[in-house]
Chains A and B, each alone.
Chain A
């Protein structure tokens, strides 16, 4: 059994597995810490910074991202101190200025009392993407195809397919669409085809030979079939009819 440590979160005492991340421990105990770039199936990244908390060890207090900070004996955590709230509010102010019309960001900002960005209106932008990298990381870590990546640097950084052309390695699984926290990945299905517009790809959907429902992209099913060495025709029937 792994080692347990004692810590406090917002002055309440907890016991947790040594080395587990503060964010997870807090969430396990029902303490809410807002995040945008975190996903339980994907390695923590520390880009959105919303999960910042104040930690005190001995006589040193500092701000850390809870998604990446492992718990240790005697750690004191503050998830909503005035300093944290002030910083989170500024983060949302910055995100709102970038995504001034995005529903998710607007709602989160409103929670912190922000109706509009503090910056001059001529500089407001209308992005949906916050460059959290979840789509890219899901594609690499979960799907294992790395069809897309973050390109450019600094303010021009964004998730894109290679050479800004059609993402050749994409299998159309849509993981990027499902993990995107702000709806920046645009996916649609019509006339038996799945489109993911961000990566310039379109995939024919497989029709269940029994009920006729179009249930998954053929390319994705073929990828899974080969990976698990399943016999040809394994996916001819949809999960509901199986």
Chain B
């Protein structure tokens, strides 16, 4: 598609948008293949190549529009594709399936049964994406467009109405009106803080100084979380458009996108998006002839979790060590290079065009009172349907885990869900009916964070879970303040002792005291939220701590020092599978059809025999 230079007026943008929308609406059948971070390792790249080659070989370009898109969300079933018309959802596509998918799609035949979604092997298949339970309970206002556009094409984004919000903001609204709209929408910061975005913008606009900065925080470092990645990779222009609107409202002419370097796709796509927007005159001098100038730079984060904290991120942007500083003077007053700076999360910025286009009233009706809009979560762990889910705020945890997530894997029993990343709390079954919003999660001892959601089942040991997250936080603490550097280390030592059977009941008191201390005295949110996994596991799973301390037992059978693997002779058929896989030759083969013997002195408790035995003949004591 050829583009005609810079757009100099709002009218020119509208005309281009009209033309591109008409070109997109070709009536051809469209195949959108997910090429997100999860589908790639599943083999989405070779499948994409196969589609392209097959279309060329059979000369199908005028019948099929093939689109390589960003993340569709249902990562568990990748590589996935949607075929329109029909909204047919194909999953776990192999290269060999490509010719058949093309045939079926062109000839509008019945969907290919074996590639359709089934929750379980015996269940009925579902053809349409919109009918799959994983999608039906979601409200994908932000992520939804990922399936419609090629993220490397600004034309695609414009064709579905992209940058009309910017045009509207520049020509129909004054900065104050935009800020009022964002305030009225009730949008709260999606990075986890939950502060009113409109209020933040207003303070930054009113702050003294003519040089101001706007920043996209894309330093998503929570283990297992990739919501920002999915959005920035799959729809970079939506983030960029939000950023330009914010800059205009605040009075900023320079923006930064701080992306962690471990997100190569996101980096590539946002860098390309900026270049494309510059070429079209949507970023740069005199945007659309409005007189407003704005430029954006991409900065790469060097792999420190703490740089997701706003002041540490700004220090890093300045070229200094990524260490937080006290925020008694807010960053909207004195942030980057001591200038007023407005930093928002990727997801927050991406919500802005929606609010401008659809109105504050529309947005505030989505979600719950005081918590409007949707939130994207990275649903991971022991659920059947893992992936990126976007839900209206206020939805129950139970609905996310059991309806969207399809319940617990392997028919096991739910034990806990951790929300909000490594320093979120672990919530038990009795809290599954509490709503997912900023305030309720905080009340329960957890937090929204930037959208991690890890589901745990009966096989997870909660003491070990707390130890695991504290180990992560100990490694990621910047080391500046004493409570975090020394306190998290001590908590991790105590927890390790408990998992090794060296704990005492007084340790629980010390852990609680340390937790209160960190919440009171740590410099930044990394330190003050670090106790959450400890406090919530003590609060909701105290029996597990007591079992480790008093009985020297790990009820979930995880903590190596407290468990012993044995072979149940009556159940063992002597198949020898465990003998072959045992890495330390601790299991000896006694002869055909006879039970095997496990030598405790050689056993390293790696669990391989337990996992491989189909007869349940390995038991954990």
**A complexed with B:** yes
Whether B486 lies near A49 (C-beta < 8 A) is no
* With contact pairs A49-B521, A68-B328 given, residues A118 and B510 touching in the complex (Cβ less than 8 Å): yes
| Residues from 62 to 111 in A contacting B, C-beta threshold 8 Å | 63-65, 68-70, 83, 86-87, 90-91, 94-95, 97-98
Please, which residues of chain A bring their CB within 8 A of the CB of B522? 49
Q: Nearest residue in A to B502 (C-beta to C-beta)?
A: A120
Q: Nearest residue in B to A52 (C-beta to C-beta)?
A: B521
Interface hit among A25-33, A148-156, A183-191? A148-156
A101 → B minimal CB distance (Å)? 16
Whether A154 lies near B474 (C-beta < 8 A) is yes
Whether A70 lies near B482 (C-beta < 8 A) is no
Please, which residues of chain A bring their CB within 8 A of the CB of B477? 153-155
- Rounded to whole angstroms, the CA-CA distance of A140 and B490 in the bound complex is 32
Please, which residues of chain B bring their CB within 8 A of the CB of A157? 478-480, 485
Q: Nearest residue in A to B506 (C-beta to C-beta)?
A: A118
Please, which residues of chain B bring their CB within 8 A of the CB of A133? 480
Partner of A91, one of B482, B489, B493, B513: B482
Given contacts A69-B328, A90-B517, A130-B482, 6 further A-B contacts (CB under 8 A): A52-B520, A87-B521, A97-B490, A120-B497, A154-B475, A157-B480
B67 → A minimal CB distance (Å)? 42
Partner of B487, one of A83, A94, A120, A123: A94
- Rounded to whole angstroms, the CA-CA distance of A119 and B502 in the bound complex is 13
Q: Nearest residue in A to B306 (C-beta to C-beta)?
A: A153
Whether A49 lies near B479 (C-beta < 8 A) is no
B502 → A minimal CB distance (Å)? 8
Please, which residues of chain B bring their CB within 8 A of the CB of A45? 480
B123 CB-CB contact with A under 8 Å: no
Please, which residues of chain A bring their CB within 8 A of the CB of B510? 118-119
Please, which residues of chain B bring their CB within 8 A of the CB of A180? none
| Residues from 102 to 140 in A contacting B, C-beta threshold 8 Å | 118-120, 123, 130-131, 133
Whether B523 lies near A47 (C-beta < 8 A) is yes
Q: Nearest residue in B to A22 (C-beta to C-beta)?
A: B328
Total CB contacts across the A-B interface at under 8 A:
97
- Rounded to whole angstroms, the CA-CA distance of A177 and B580 in the bound complex is 62
B186 → A minimal CB distance (Å)? 22
- Rounded to whole angstroms, the CA-CA distance of A162 and B511 in the bound complex is 37
- Rounded to whole angstroms, the CA-CA distance of A68 and B523 in the bound complex is 11
Please, which residues of chain B bring their CB within 8 A of the CB of A87? 517, 520-521
Q: Which of A86, A150, A154 has the most chain B CB atoms inside 10 A of its CB?
A: A154
A196 CB-CB contact with B under 8 Å: no
Whether B521 lies near A63 (C-beta < 8 A) is yes
Whether B521 lies near A123 (C-beta < 8 A) is no
In the complex, 15 of the A-B residue pairs with CB atoms within 8 angstroms, ordered by the A residue number, are: A46-B326, A46-B523, A47-B482, A49-B521, A63-B521, A69-B328, A98-B486, A119-B494, A119-B510, A123-B490, A123-B493, A131-B479, A131-B485, A155-B477, A157-B478
Whether B476 lies near A154 (C-beta < 8 A) is yes
Whether A94 lies near B474 (C-beta < 8 A) is no
For chain A, give the interface size range.
35 or more
Whether A49 lies near B485 (C-beta < 8 A) is no
- Rounded to whole angstroms, the CA-CA distance of A49 and B326 in the bound complex is 11
Indicate with 1 or 0, residue by residue over B71-107, a CB within 8 angstroms of chain A CB atoms.
0000000000000000000000000000000000000
Please, which residues of chain B bring their CB within 8 A of the CB of A123? 490, 493
Lowest 5 CB-CB distances: which A-B pairs, in order?
Answer: A157-B479, A94-B486, A154-B477, A90-B517, A154-B479
| Residues from 38 to 52 in A contacting B, C-beta threshold 8 Å | 45-49, 52
Whether B514 lies near A90 (C-beta < 8 A) is yes
Whether A91 lies near B483 (C-beta < 8 A) is yes
Secondary structure call for the B interface: helix
Whether B479 lies near A94 (C-beta < 8 A) is no
For chain B, give the interface size range.
20 to 34
Please, which residues of chain B bring their CB within 8 A of the CB of A118? 510
A125 → B minimal CB distance (Å)? 10
- Rounded to whole angstroms, the CA-CA distance of A178 and B317 in the bound complex is 32
| Residues from 49 to 63 in A contacting B, C-beta threshold 8 Å | 49, 52, 63
Partner of B326, one of A68, A150, A153: A68
B329 CB-CB contact with A under 8 Å: yes
Indicate with 1 or 0, residue by residue over A155-174, a CB within 8 angstroms of chain B CB atoms.
11100000000000000000
- Rounded to whole angstroms, the CA-CA distance of A90 and B514 in the bound complex is 8
Please, which residues of chain A bring their CB within 8 A of the CB of B490? 94, 97, 119, 123
- Rounded to whole angstroms, the CA-CA distance of A68 and B481 in the bound complex is 14
* With contact pairs A52-B521, A155-B479, A156-B479 given, residues A150 and B321 touching in the complex (Cβ less than 8 Å): yes
B578 CB-CB contact with A under 8 Å: no
Q: Nearest residue in B to A50 (C-beta to C-beta)?
A: B482
Partner of A154, one of B328, B478, B493, B497: B478
| Residues from 503 to 534 in B contacting A, C-beta threshold 8 Å | 510, 513-514, 517, 520-523
B243 CB-CB contact with A under 8 Å: no
Q: Which of B321, B476, B486, B493 has the most chain A CB atoms inside 10 A of its CB?
A: B486
Whether B304 lies near A65 (C-beta < 8 A) is no
Whether B521 lies near A153 (C-beta < 8 A) is no
Please, which residues of chain A bring their CB within 8 A of the CB of B520? 52, 63, 83, 87
Partner of B483, one of A49, A83, A131: A49
B60 → A minimal CB distance (Å)? 54
B396 CB-CB contact with A under 8 Å: no
* With contact pairs A64-B328, A70-B329 given, residues A153 and B478 touching in the complex (Cβ less than 8 Å): yes
- Rounded to whole angstroms, the CA-CA distance of A212 and B213 in the bound complex is 58
Please, which residues of chain A bring their CB within 8 A of the CB of B521? 49, 52, 63, 87, 90-91
B325 CB-CB contact with A under 8 Å: yes
Please, which residues of chain B bring their CB within 8 A of the CB of A120? 493, 497
Q: Nearest residue in A to B507 (C-beta to C-beta)?
A: A120
B363 → A minimal CB distance (Å)? 29
Please, which residues of chain A bring their CB within 8 A of the CB of B304? 153
Whether A119 lies near B493 (C-beta < 8 A) is yes
| Residues from 449 to 506 in B contacting A, C-beta threshold 8 Å | 474-483, 485-487, 489-490, 493-494, 497
A241 → B minimal CB distance (Å)? 44
| Residues from 542 to 587 in B contacting A, C-beta threshold 8 Å | none
- Rounded to whole angstroms, the CA-CA distance of A28 and B419 in the bound complex is 46
Partner of A155, one of B321, B485, B514: B485
Please, which residues of chain A bring their CB within 8 A of the CB of B486? 94-95, 97-98, 155
Whether B474 lies near A95 (C-beta < 8 A) is no
B500 → A minimal CB distance (Å)? 12
B350 → A minimal CB distance (Å)? 31
- Rounded to whole angstroms, the CA-CA distance of A133 and B482 in the bound complex is 12
Indicate with 1 or 0, residue by residue over A200-239, a CB within 8 angstroms of chain B CB atoms.
0000000000000000000000000000000000000000
A26 → B minimal CB distance (Å)? 16
